[in-house]
Structure 1
Amino acid sequence: MGAEDYRHEQEQETPSLDLKTLKVISVLGREAKGVVFLALIKKKCKDNGDKNIGSPYRRIWFARDVLKSFRDPLLPRLRGVVETDKIIDLAIDYCPGRDLNCLRKNQTEKMFSDDIIRFYAAELVLALEYLHGLGIVYKDLKPENVMIQETVN
Protein backbone atom coordinates (compact mmCIF):
# COMPACT_ATOMS: atom_id res chain seq x y z
CA MET A 1 0.00 0.00 0.00
CA GLY A 2 1.49 3.33 -1.03
CA ALA A 3 1.39 6.59 0.92
CA GLU A 4 -1.49 7.91 -1.20
CA ASP A 5 -3.54 4.75 -0.59
CA TYR A 6 -2.86 5.02 3.13
CA ARG A 7 -4.04 8.67 3.25
CA HIS A 8 -7.20 7.71 1.35
CA GLU A 9 -7.89 4.88 3.82
CA GLN A 10 -7.44 7.30 6.75
CA GLU A 11 -9.96 9.75 5.28
CA GLN A 12 -12.76 7.18 5.20
CA GLU A 13 -15.23 7.65 8.03
CA THR A 14 -15.77 5.13 10.80
CA PRO A 15 -19.41 4.90 11.81
CA SER A 16 -20.44 6.15 15.24
CA LEU A 17 -22.42 3.71 17.29
CA ASP A 18 -25.00 4.54 19.93
CA LEU A 19 -25.25 2.50 23.15
CA LYS A 20 -28.98 2.16 22.46
CA THR A 21 -28.15 0.18 19.32
CA LEU A 22 -25.87 -2.30 21.14
CA LYS A 23 -26.83 -5.41 23.06
CA VAL A 24 -24.10 -6.41 25.54
CA ILE A 25 -23.74 -10.18 25.62
CA SER A 26 -20.92 -10.67 28.14
CA VAL A 27 -17.66 -9.36 29.56
CA LEU A 28 -14.71 -10.80 27.64
CA GLY A 29 -11.92 -9.39 29.78
CA ARG A 30 -10.56 -6.53 31.81
CA GLU A 31 -7.71 -4.31 30.65
CA ALA A 32 -5.68 -1.62 32.42
CA LYS A 33 -7.81 1.13 30.85
CA GLY A 34 -11.24 -0.52 30.80
CA VAL A 35 -13.41 -3.55 30.21
CA VAL A 36 -13.82 -5.51 26.95
CA PHE A 37 -17.41 -6.50 26.15
CA LEU A 38 -18.95 -8.76 23.55
CA ALA A 39 -21.83 -6.80 22.03
CA LEU A 40 -24.15 -7.16 19.06
CA ILE A 41 -25.08 -4.20 16.88
CA LYS A 42 -28.87 -3.99 16.60
CA LYS A 43 -28.85 -1.26 13.93
CA LYS A 44 -26.48 1.23 12.31
CA CYS A 45 -26.09 4.82 13.53
CA LYS A 46 -25.22 8.00 11.72
CA ASP A 47 -21.62 9.20 12.11
CA ASN A 48 -21.33 12.30 14.31
CA GLY A 49 -17.72 13.11 13.43
CA ASP A 50 -14.78 13.76 15.74
CA LYS A 51 -16.16 16.21 18.24
CA ASN A 52 -13.49 15.33 20.82
CA ILE A 53 -10.35 15.81 18.71
CA GLY A 54 -7.76 17.59 20.83
CA SER A 55 -9.47 16.46 24.03
CA PRO A 56 -8.06 14.16 26.73
CA TYR A 57 -9.18 11.28 24.48
CA ARG A 58 -6.25 11.74 22.09
CA ARG A 59 -4.97 8.20 22.74
CA ILE A 60 -8.35 6.69 21.92
CA TRP A 61 -8.58 8.64 18.65
CA PHE A 62 -5.02 7.59 17.82
CA ALA A 63 -5.94 3.93 18.46
CA ARG A 64 -9.02 4.43 16.26
CA ASP A 65 -6.89 5.78 13.41
CA VAL A 66 -4.44 2.90 13.74
CA LEU A 67 -7.26 0.32 13.68
CA LYS A 68 -8.78 2.05 10.64
CA SER A 69 -5.53 1.51 8.74
CA PHE A 70 -5.50 -2.30 9.13
CA ARG A 71 -6.12 -4.25 5.92
CA ASP A 72 -4.72 -7.63 6.93
CA PRO A 73 -6.67 -10.81 7.77
CA LEU A 74 -4.51 -11.37 10.86
CA LEU A 75 -5.56 -8.07 12.45
CA PRO A 76 -8.97 -6.87 13.68
CA ARG A 77 -11.03 -4.35 11.71
CA LEU A 78 -12.59 -1.29 13.30
CA ARG A 79 -16.37 -1.59 12.99
CA GLY A 80 -17.48 1.54 14.79
CA VAL A 81 -17.06 3.98 17.65
CA VAL A 82 -19.32 4.24 20.72
CA GLU A 83 -19.31 7.67 22.33
CA THR A 84 -21.31 9.09 25.24
CA ASP A 85 -20.61 11.84 27.76
CA LYS A 86 -18.84 9.28 29.98
CA ILE A 87 -17.25 6.72 27.62
CA ILE A 88 -15.62 6.32 24.26
CA ASP A 89 -15.13 2.80 23.00
CA LEU A 90 -13.94 1.15 19.81
CA ALA A 91 -15.90 -1.75 18.29
CA ILE A 92 -13.70 -4.32 16.55
CA ASP A 93 -14.21 -7.74 15.02
CA TYR A 94 -15.29 -10.48 17.42
CA CYS A 95 -12.67 -13.18 17.97
CA PRO A 96 -14.51 -16.33 19.14
CA GLY A 97 -11.29 -18.09 20.15
CA ARG A 98 -10.79 -15.51 22.96
CA ASP A 99 -7.09 -14.86 23.59
CA LEU A 100 -3.89 -16.90 23.36
CA ASN A 101 -3.63 -17.25 27.14
CA CYS A 102 -7.19 -18.66 27.42
CA LEU A 103 -6.43 -21.05 24.57
CA ARG A 104 -3.24 -22.19 26.32
CA LYS A 105 -5.10 -22.85 29.56
CA ASN A 106 -7.55 -25.10 27.68
CA GLN A 107 -4.75 -27.30 26.32
CA THR A 108 -3.72 -30.62 27.82
CA GLU A 109 -1.22 -29.88 30.60
CA LYS A 110 -1.88 -26.16 29.94
CA MET A 111 0.78 -26.01 27.23
CA PHE A 112 0.88 -25.96 23.43
CA SER A 113 2.37 -28.66 21.23
CA ASP A 114 5.46 -27.74 19.20
CA ASP A 115 3.36 -27.52 16.02
CA ILE A 116 0.90 -25.07 17.59
CA ILE A 117 3.79 -22.98 18.96
CA ARG A 118 5.34 -22.79 15.47
CA PHE A 119 1.95 -21.85 13.96
CA TYR A 120 1.27 -18.98 16.37
CA ALA A 121 4.88 -17.78 16.25
CA ALA A 122 4.63 -17.56 12.44
CA GLU A 123 1.26 -15.75 12.66
CA LEU A 124 2.71 -13.25 15.15
CA VAL A 125 5.77 -12.60 12.99
CA LEU A 126 3.52 -11.93 9.96
CA ALA A 127 1.26 -9.59 11.95
CA LEU A 128 4.23 -7.68 13.40
CA GLU A 129 5.85 -7.44 9.98
CA TYR A 130 2.62 -5.90 8.62
CA LEU A 131 2.47 -3.41 11.52
CA HIS A 132 6.12 -2.45 11.09
CA GLY A 133 5.46 -1.88 7.39
CA LEU A 134 2.87 0.73 8.45
CA GLY A 135 5.41 2.32 10.80
CA ILE A 136 3.64 0.95 13.90
CA VAL A 137 5.59 -0.54 16.81
CA TYR A 138 3.37 -2.66 19.05
CA LYS A 139 4.78 -2.59 22.57
CA ASP A 140 2.21 -4.55 24.61
CA LEU A 141 2.65 -8.02 23.12
CA LYS A 142 1.54 -10.68 25.59
CA PRO A 143 -0.70 -13.76 25.34
CA GLU A 144 -3.71 -11.88 26.76
CA ASN A 145 -3.48 -9.35 23.90
CA VAL A 146 -3.29 -11.91 21.08
CA MET A 147 -6.87 -12.53 20.02
CA ILE A 148 -7.78 -15.83 18.36
CA GLN A 149 -10.18 -15.61 15.42
CA GLU A 150 -11.18 -19.28 15.46
CA THR A 151 -10.85 -22.05 18.01
CA VAL A 152 -8.33 -24.82 17.40
CA ASN A 153 -9.42 -28.44 17.77
Structure 2
Amino acid sequence: MSGADLGLLSYGQTRVLVDDFAESYRFYRDILGLLLKHHEPGAPEPEAGPYACFVAGDADLALFTRAYMDAAVGAEHRPRDGVDTVVVVLRVTDVDAAAKVAESRGARLTTAPADQPAWGTRVAHLRAPEGTLIELCQYDD
Protein backbone atom coordinates (compact mmCIF):
# COMPACT_ATOMS: atom_id res chain seq x y z
CA MET A 1 0.00 0.00 0.00
CA SER A 2 1.28 3.46 -0.81
CA GLY A 3 0.13 7.04 -1.07
CA ALA A 4 -0.18 6.47 -4.81
CA ASP A 5 -3.17 4.25 -4.02
CA LEU A 6 -4.90 7.40 -2.80
CA GLY A 7 -3.83 9.42 -5.82
CA LEU A 8 -1.47 11.34 -3.51
CA LEU A 9 0.25 14.19 -5.32
CA SER A 10 2.22 15.85 -2.52
CA TYR A 11 2.19 16.98 1.08
CA GLY A 12 -0.19 19.94 1.10
CA GLN A 13 0.47 21.87 4.29
CA THR A 14 0.50 21.86 8.04
CA ARG A 15 -2.58 23.67 9.33
CA VAL A 16 -2.43 24.95 12.90
CA LEU A 17 -5.89 25.34 14.43
CA VAL A 18 -6.21 28.44 16.60
CA ASP A 19 -8.83 30.21 18.69
CA ASP A 20 -7.31 33.71 18.83
CA PHE A 21 -6.51 34.11 15.16
CA ALA A 22 -5.15 37.68 15.29
CA GLU A 23 -2.68 37.00 18.09
CA SER A 24 -1.49 33.78 16.44
CA TYR A 25 -1.23 35.50 13.05
CA ARG A 26 0.98 38.24 14.48
CA PHE A 27 3.22 35.62 16.16
CA TYR A 28 3.87 33.67 12.97
CA ARG A 29 4.33 36.88 10.97
CA ASP A 30 6.23 39.07 13.46
CA ILE A 31 8.10 36.64 15.75
CA LEU A 32 8.87 33.89 13.25
CA GLY A 33 9.06 36.27 10.29
CA LEU A 34 7.03 34.05 7.95
CA LEU A 35 5.67 35.59 4.77
CA LEU A 36 2.20 35.08 3.36
CA LYS A 37 2.06 32.68 0.45
CA HIS A 38 -0.56 34.60 -1.53
CA HIS A 39 -0.70 38.30 -0.81
CA GLU A 40 -1.29 41.08 -3.28
CA PRO A 41 0.76 44.22 -2.59
CA GLY A 42 -1.43 46.83 -0.95
CA ALA A 43 -4.16 44.32 -0.07
CA PRO A 44 -5.12 44.06 3.60
CA GLU A 45 -3.53 41.23 5.52
CA PRO A 46 -5.86 38.45 6.74
CA GLU A 47 -5.10 39.22 10.39
CA ALA A 48 -8.75 38.67 11.38
CA GLY A 49 -8.79 35.19 9.84
CA PRO A 50 -10.26 32.72 9.49
CA TYR A 51 -7.37 31.46 7.30
CA ALA A 52 -3.85 32.47 6.32
CA CYS A 53 -1.13 30.50 4.58
CA PHE A 54 2.53 31.28 5.21
CA VAL A 55 5.60 30.06 3.34
CA ALA A 56 8.03 28.10 5.50
CA GLY A 57 10.89 27.16 3.21
CA ASP A 58 9.50 24.63 0.73
CA ALA A 59 6.37 23.98 2.78
CA ASP A 60 3.14 25.76 3.62
CA LEU A 61 2.22 26.51 7.22
CA ALA A 62 -1.36 27.67 7.54
CA LEU A 63 -3.46 29.04 10.38
CA PHE A 64 -7.16 28.27 10.53
CA THR A 65 -9.78 29.24 13.07
CA ARG A 66 -10.44 26.10 15.13
CA ALA A 67 -14.20 26.67 15.38
CA TYR A 68 -14.44 26.65 11.57
CA MET A 69 -12.63 23.32 11.35
CA ASP A 70 -14.81 21.87 14.09
CA ALA A 71 -17.89 22.91 12.12
CA ALA A 72 -16.48 21.49 8.89
CA VAL A 73 -15.97 18.05 10.43
CA GLY A 74 -19.13 18.16 12.55
CA ALA A 75 -17.26 18.21 15.87
CA GLU A 76 -18.30 19.99 19.02
CA HIS A 77 -16.14 23.04 19.65
CA ARG A 78 -14.55 22.52 23.05
CA PRO A 79 -11.62 23.90 25.04
CA ARG A 80 -8.11 22.68 24.39
CA ASP A 81 -6.87 20.16 26.92
CA GLY A 82 -3.30 21.46 27.15
CA VAL A 83 -1.65 18.36 25.70
CA ASP A 84 0.79 18.83 22.82
CA THR A 85 -0.56 17.13 19.72
CA VAL A 86 1.70 18.72 17.12
CA VAL A 87 5.17 20.25 16.95
CA VAL A 88 5.92 22.72 14.18
CA VAL A 89 9.57 22.09 13.30
CA LEU A 90 11.35 24.88 11.46
CA ARG A 91 14.75 23.95 10.09
CA VAL A 92 17.21 26.84 10.44
CA THR A 93 20.85 27.35 9.52
CA ASP A 94 21.91 28.35 13.06
CA VAL A 95 19.69 27.55 16.05
CA ASP A 96 21.52 29.90 18.41
CA ALA A 97 21.15 32.85 16.03
CA ALA A 98 17.51 32.02 15.26
CA ALA A 99 16.70 31.76 18.97
CA LYS A 100 18.25 35.19 19.58
CA VAL A 101 16.24 36.71 16.75
CA ALA A 102 13.00 35.18 18.09
CA GLU A 103 13.77 36.49 21.59
CA SER A 104 14.59 39.96 20.23
CA ARG A 105 11.14 39.93 18.60
CA GLY A 106 9.43 39.15 21.91
CA ALA A 107 9.35 35.35 22.09
CA ARG A 108 10.23 33.50 25.28
CA LEU A 109 12.17 30.30 24.76
CA THR A 110 10.86 27.26 26.58
CA THR A 111 14.20 25.53 26.06
CA ALA A 112 17.50 27.21 25.24
CA PRO A 113 19.51 25.95 22.26
CA ALA A 114 20.92 22.52 23.07
CA ASP A 115 22.46 19.61 21.23
CA GLN A 116 20.34 16.48 20.94
CA PRO A 117 22.98 13.86 20.04
CA ALA A 118 20.44 11.02 19.83
CA TRP A 119 18.54 13.03 17.20
CA GLY A 120 21.63 14.37 15.43
CA THR A 121 20.32 17.91 15.85
CA ARG A 122 20.65 21.13 17.80
CA VAL A 123 17.27 22.52 18.87
CA ALA A 124 15.52 25.28 20.79
CA HIS A 125 11.82 25.50 21.63
CA LEU A 126 9.25 28.24 22.05
CA ARG A 127 5.48 28.38 22.09
CA ALA A 128 3.04 30.24 19.90
CA PRO A 129 0.42 32.31 21.73
CA GLU A 130 -2.06 29.43 22.10
CA GLY A 131 0.59 26.93 23.16
CA THR A 132 1.61 25.26 19.90
CA LEU A 133 5.14 23.97 20.39
CA ILE A 134 7.63 25.41 17.89
CA GLU A 135 11.01 23.74 17.44
CA LEU A 136 13.90 25.55 15.82
CA CYS A 137 16.03 22.75 14.46
CA GLN A 138 19.53 22.67 12.96
CA TYR A 139 21.04 19.62 11.28
CA ASP A 140 23.23 18.68 8.36
CA ASP A 141 21.82 16.75 5.42
TM-score (norm 1): 0.31
More strand as a share of residues: 2
More helix as a share of residues: 1
